[in-house]
Amino acid sequence: MDTIAVTRHGKIRGRIQDGVAAFLGVPYAAPPFGARRFLAPQPVTPWDGVRDCLSFGATAPKRPYRPPLDEILPDPDVAGDDCLNVNVWTPSPAPGLSLPVMVWIHGGSLRNGSNTIPLYDGAAFARDGVVLVSVNYRLGVEGFGVFPDAPDNRGLLDQLEALRWVRDNIAAFGGDPGNVTVFGESAGAICIAALLTSPHARGLFHRAAMQSGPPHTVSRKEGAKIVKVMARALGVPPRAAAFADVDPSSLLDAQVTATSKGNPITGGPGFHIVTDGDVVVPDGALPADVDLLVGANREEYRLWLVPTGAVHRISPLVLRLAMLKFRIPWRAAGLYRSSRPGAPPGEILGEIATDMLLRGPINRLADSHRGRSFVYEFAWRSPERDLGACHALEIGFVFDNLAAARELTGPEAPQPLADTMHRAWIAFASGGDPGWPAWDASRPVMVFDAPESGIVHAPRDEELKAWI
């Protein structure tokens, strides 16, 4: 059955199925191409009549993940220019209900992902009384390339514009604009960390959940490096005007080549959020009135090192060189080895990198936040492809959407664990309390596992303190 909602830009048609109304591909900004390319997001042109929002909108320009990650992380591509769009799932499109709102910002290293990925279907949230919004934003060089003749952090500007759309329109879908929680994973969580300190985001959301992505920004000089690499390959100046004249397919080819030699564990060229002094300010303080839910998966590294076989190619020498590069004390490696007898060097390096890139920064974030922080760890190990408790594995559980997560979880993932996590995220979005103690000097961490989840205080802190 179809249904109509009235937004500030015009009427839109969605579809009700099993008691959930879905409005897909709703534009929140004008297409960022042609004269608008490499600019801040521009306003939507209002329309007459009723606009059909019955299928997913266009995705931002991107290429699939490199094999074998393309099999594990499907990344649909929908053609079209109108890629600055949101999807909305709601138990009722009627205004006046004031339901909690959750806004999902997807991950993908700032160059992959979209709101069309089946894993991010918001029907289970709407079924349980939440209005779920998922956001598309510009990726790669279009969204995060640093140029002297274009605004920085354009993908982040897109997210801010989407949040303004939520503020101005979500009441038409039964949502409460005064009770908005942003949540995201990996690069999506890193974006949220930047939004938390941005003066432009004040009042646009009230709680934040960051999954496997701590605060991380770089200088404009550092952020511009990948643009210069691409410019040399393309034979053009490192300016937005020059890049706008390059065929989009060639631009994506150059982007893939420039980013092909690294990953979040081993490093390498990539796209970053930069400290621009406007949207992202240096040393911005976290707002004390925004509650945080933050955490990571126990074996994050396995997504990047295991499917490719890299975990088995890391020798003791490579491990030693990596420790020198990252200035990790030798006694730290000794602690990791002693607690994992028989583990190969690749796994030791992966465990250290997970703590250095995620667990350590997440703990420091919780320590520094003047408001309430709730910390979790996802520990259930997937048997699929020997992925273990890898990066992105928790998403299907949070969304209560295990059917769409089988490439990561395998066919027999524990539904009770999905029930537990999904309820916790809804409880946090509804009232700010996911169901376990807030972070304090005892460092309580909710460890999500099967068959049981529970609180562990200061897990593996001895290792963490050895090199922090």
User: Is 463 one of the catalytic residues?
Assistant: no
Residue where the block lists tokens 């126990």: 298
How far, in Å, CA of 468 to CA of 464, rounded?
6
Both structure tokens of 253: 């080819």
Q: How far apart are CA 17 and CA 26, in angstroms?
A: 18
Annotated active-site residue 186? The verdict is yes
Tokens of residue 265, six digits: 């564990």
- 212 catalytic residue (yes or no): no
Strands 85-90, 131-135: pairing is antiparallel
Catalytic residue among 92, 114, 186, 453: 186
Distance from C-alpha of 155 to C-alpha of 173, rounded to nearest angstrom: 25
Residue 295: name the closest of 208, 198, 179, 216 by CA.
208
* C-alpha distance across the termini of the chain, in Å: 56
Catalytic residue (one of 142, 161, 299, 300): 300
**One of 382, 391, 430, 453 is an active-site residue; which one?**
391
Q: What b/e string do you get for 4-42 counting C-beta neighbours within 10 Å, with b at 16 or more?
A: ebebebeebebbeeeebbbbbbbbbbbbbbeeebbebbe
For residue 118, which of 106, 109, 101 has the smallest C-alpha distance? 106
What six digits make up the tokens of 371? Answer: 């408001």
Mark 186-198 as b/e (b = at least 16 C-beta within 10 Å). Answer: bbbbbbbbbbbbb
Nearby residues of 83 by Cβ (< 8 Å), 6 or more positions away:
31, 32, 57, 58, 59, 60, 61, 136, 138
Q: Which two structure tokens, joined as six digits, stand for 125?
A: 């949230």
Fill in the DSSP letter of residue 366. Answer: H
Residues annotated as catalytic (active site), given as ranges: 186, 300, 391
